[in-house]
Amino acid sequence: MRAPLRVGTYVPFATSGLQSLLQYRSTFLITGVTAAAGAAVTVFLWRAVYAGSPGPGPGGFTPASITTYLVVAQVLAVVHANRVDDEVAAEVYRGDIAVMLVRPVSYPLVRFAACLPVIAANALLVGVPLLVLFSVLVPLTAPTPVDAALFALSTAFSAVIAFCVNLLTGMAGFVTTNTWGVRMVKQGIVAFFAGQMVPLALLPGPLHTLAMVLPFRAMADGPLTLLLGRYEGVGGASTVLGHQLGWTVGLVLLCAVLWRGAAGRLEVLGG
Amino acid sequence: MIVAEGLTKDFRIAERRPGLLGSLSTLLTREYRTVRAVDGISFRLRAGSKTAYIGANGAGKSTTIKMLTGIMTPSSGRCLVDGVEPYRQRRENARSIGVVFGQRSQLWWDLSVPDSFQILRRIYGIPDTVYERNLALYRELLDIGALGTTPVRQLSLGQRMRAEIAASLLHDPKVVFWDEPTIGLDMVLKEAVRTLVNRANAELGTTVLLTSHDLSDISAICDDALVVDGGRVVHEGTLHDLLRRADRRSVVFDHRGGRGVEDTVLRIETGLPGAAAGLTSEGRIRVDYPADAFTSRHVLGFLLEHFELADCYAPEPDLETVLRQTYRGGVPSARDGGAV
């Protein structure tokens, strides 16, 4: 008895998201400066580590490939900053979610549509300039066409996973009123287990194993493994993509189940 | 069109103790208290009816509306809107309803009103003819055109409410739920809103459920009344019947003759035991009498017999008086139902 899903219904949420976004241009500048500073710190730190080692250093990285790993990891982090966690948490906190629920639309899909322009704007207005800036400053590794294509596919998966992780974080607002802490914890966990701060290949034994299983790997280390050709043939690439696909499906299902449960026990007080 | 059967909603609220020490202690232990906002209410509203949902603050009006609009699930009991259980088939229900929450905006904060309307047009799949017809109507009645391309966040409360009301009717919903729809509107616009909803009701058979603290809105829009007190329905029927529940009625008259006011008052109060008389601000005499003790015919007869009446009328009991009496649980007090 569910209403049929029509993609057209969600297009206006994407376009209106873009319209709202364009009203706040300065945010892109701020995001850009923050990301560039963050990337500079990790890049120059790790370049110092690799400077002394002739040939491939720890984890099989060369100075150029570790630089590429860290810069692109930062770009992916910018792309994944889709604001879904902030928006959902705020709407649950203020009770504005009530307004969304009186419309004939699925709330998670509305949020997904609305975050697409944010992703695109972050990628074009912050991600690309960041990449260009660092390619001028430091030598980067150019990927093969196949690796670039695999990376593009893998990045698409990672965007969906980032959406789910942020949606779940925002939905913590159903349980706890103040989600600031939850969002901070999420940010830390993602930055660490995605490989943004330390490439996952460099983590010690058990931590490495854990990182390889968790979904966060799919948000940076997965795509970067493909980009840098750090895999063994078709099997190696499919392992990375399989891990991503598995978590994409798993997290989408988890979101759907938890959303249904949360919406069923939603309490909007006041008004 | 709308059916509620034993509709109940409980909230679990964390008990907070006062003061800093109390706040600290809630870190360790937390006690919960269950508050029953809606207590097993049942009612039935027919299609095309215009009903005022009346209750004092905290009577559970908004909670009931949230269940009828599918936002909240009842703790027990159920409700149906056009044959659909809203919280089970939320999206299906959402197609056939229009909602205004006076406290919250349903427009896009960063977009202009025309942009918001275009989005709604897409979401609800509003046919062009309907969209154009409604927009023309809103331009005429609500002066929507004057809002221009200002983002909603920069509109005044009155301007925003106009747009909210228009937005709730844009897709020709079968039922509209209006929770405090006229806050921030001046007299002229309130009148326009009344015209608008009465027109939708007459032309499209739109069912209306309205909550408002503005009793003039209620009497201008609604034919029926559903009065809730302490989470229970205390009146379900026409507004007219509700008004007839008044336990005190009045007669106002001018009288000639040299008799002084005090003498007149004394004479009435001894002649009609239980009645109270007094001078109105217009210099007339007003008699308030308990409706169960006398009929208006009886009172008029008495007045005609003892005084030389120049002018005389029996005003309808007003809603505020009746409601005040209803909220108190129908216990009439001595000096109430007087001048309002």
CA–CA distance from A27 to each of A70, A125, B15, B56, B190 (Å)? 23, 10, 40, 45, 40
pLDDT at A119 over 70: yes
Minimal CA separation from B219 to chain A, in Å? 23
Which token pair is B268?
């009435």
pLDDT digits over B231-250, tens only?
A: 778 888 888 888 877 777 88
Of A12, A104, A264, the CB nearest to B73: A264
Give the pLDDT confidence of B173-187 residue by residue, as tens digits: 999 999 888 877 888
Cα separation, B200 vs B165, in Å, equals 12
* Structure-token pair, residue B219: 């009497």
Per-residue pLDDT, B335: 35
Mean pLDDT, range B211-220, rounded to an integer:
82
CB A72 within 8 A of CB A45: no
Q: Tell me: the pLDDT tens digits for A25-60?
A: 888 889 899 999 999 999 999 988 888 777 788 888
A22 touches chain B (CB under 8 A): no
Residues in chain A closer than 8 A to B103 (CB atoms): 270-271
Cross-chain CB nearest to B111 (options A8, A9, A16): A16
Reported as half-sphere exposure (CB side, CA atoms, 13 A), residue B260 has a value of 3
**Interface of chain B against chain A, CB under 8 Å?**
11, 62, 66, 69-73, 87, 89-92, 94-95, 97, 99, 101-106, 108-111, 115, 118-119, 122-125, 151, 179
pLDDT of residue B217: 82
Nearest-angstrom CA–CA distance, B209 and B179: 8
Q: Mean of the pLDDT values across residues B47-74?
A: 87
For chain A, what is the radius of gyration of the CA atoms? 20
| Chain-chain contact of A20 with B101 (C-beta, under 8 angstroms) | no
Residue carrying the six token digits 């208290």: B33
Residue A135 lies in a domain: yes
- Establish if A239 belongs to a structural domain: yes
In the predicted structure, residue B338 carries a pLDDT above the cut 50: no
In this structure, what token pair is assigned to residue B338? 């007087």
Interval B67-126: pLDDT, tens: 999 998 999 999 999 999 998 898 899 999 999 988 888 888 888 999 999 999 999 999
Determine the distance in angstroms separating the CA of A247 from the nearest CA of chain B, rounded to an integer.
28
Task: Assess if residue A96 is contained within a domain.
Answer: yes
pLDDT in tens, B129-179: 999 999 999 998 888 888 888 988 898 888 888 899 999 999 999 999 998
Residue A211 lies in a domain: yes
- The Cα–Cα gap between A69 and A42 comes to 11
The model's pLDDT over A97-115, given as tens digits with 9 standing for 90+, comes to 888 889 999 999 999 999 9
Higher pLDDT, B226 or B322: B226
Mutate to test the interface with A, among B12, B33, B36, B72 (most CBs of A within 10 A): B72
At residue B293, the pLDDT reads 81
Host domain of residue A30: 7-264
Would you say residue A1 lies in a domain? no
Please say whether the beta carbons of B176 and B98 come within 8 A: yes
Angstrom distance (rounded) from CA B113 to CA B118: 9
How many angstroms separate the CA atoms of A204 and A213, rounded? 14
Contacts of B66 in chain A (CB under 8 A): 98, 268
In a domain, A269, yes or no: no
The pair of three-digit structure tokens given for residue B9, joined into one six-digit string: 């909603």
**pLDDT tens for each residue of A148-204:** 999 999 999 999 999 999 999 999 888 887 788 999 999 999 999 999 888 999 998
Name the residue among B249, B247, B246, B252 with its Cα closest to residue B303. Answer: B252
Chain B interface includes A101 (CB < 8 A):
yes
φ, ψ (nearest 5 deg) of residue A30: -65, -45
Please answer yes or no on whether A16 and B108 come within 8 Å at the CB atom.
yes
The interface pTM score, or ipTM, of the predicted complex is 0.78
Which pLDDT score, from 0 to 100, does residue B340 have?
Answer: 30
Partner-chain contact B110 A9, CB within 8 Å: no
b/e per residue A243-256 (b: at least 16 CB within 10 A): bbeebbeebbeebe
Residue A270 in any domain: the answer is: no
Would an 8 Å CB–CB cutoff place A144 in contact with chain B? Answer: no
> pLDDT band at residue A127, thresholds of 50, 70 and 90?
very high
Task: Give the Cα separation of A237 and B100 in Å (integer).
Answer: 53
Residue A4, pLDDT score: 55
Q: Which of B71, B92, B105 is the closest to A102 by Cβ?
A: B71
Instruction: For chain A, give the DSSP string.
Output: -PPPP-GGGGHHHHHHHHHHHHT-THHHHHHHHHHHHHHHHHHHHHHHHHHTSSSS-GGG--HHHHHHHHHHHHHHHHHH--SHHHHHHHHHHHTTHHHHHTSSS-HHHHHHHHHHHHHHHIIIIIIHHHHHHHHHHS--PPPPHHHHHHHHHHHHHHHHHHHHHHHHHHHGGGT-S--HHHHHHHHHHHHHHHTSSS-GGGS-HHHHHHHHHSGGGGGTHHHHHHHTT-S-HHHHHHHHHHHHHHHHHHHHHHHHHHHHHHHHT------
Q: How far apart are CA A189 and CA A184, in angstroms?
A: 9
Tell whether the model's pLDDT for residue B336 goes beyond 60: no
What pLDDT, on a 0 to 100 scale, did the predictor assign at position B37?
85
> What mean pLDDT is predicted for residues B257-269?
80
pLDDT at res. B12: 79
| Chain B residues whose beta carbon lies within 8 Å of the beta carbon of residue A1 | 89, 92
Which structure tokens are listed for A88? 């959902």
Closest chain B C-alpha to A103 CA, distance in angstroms: 5
**For tokens 């999206």, what's the residue?**
B91
pLDDT of A73 above 50? yes
Per-residue pLDDT for A76 more than 50? yes
- Dihedrals phi, psi of B15, to nearest 5 degrees: -80, 125
Give the per-residue pLDDT at A242.
95
What is the DSSP code string of A165-193? HHHHHHHGGGT-S--HHHHHHHHHHHHHH
Name all domains of chain B by residue range, CATH numbers in brackets: 2-242 (3.40.50.300), 247-316 (3.30.70.100)
Residue A267 distance to chain B (closest CA, Å): 6
Whether residue A271 is contained in a domain is answered as no
CA distance B69 to chain A (A): 6
Residue A266 to residue B41: CA distance in whole angstroms? 20
Residues B300, B289: Cα–Cα separation, whole Å = 11
pLDDT for B241:
83
Number of domains in chain A: 1
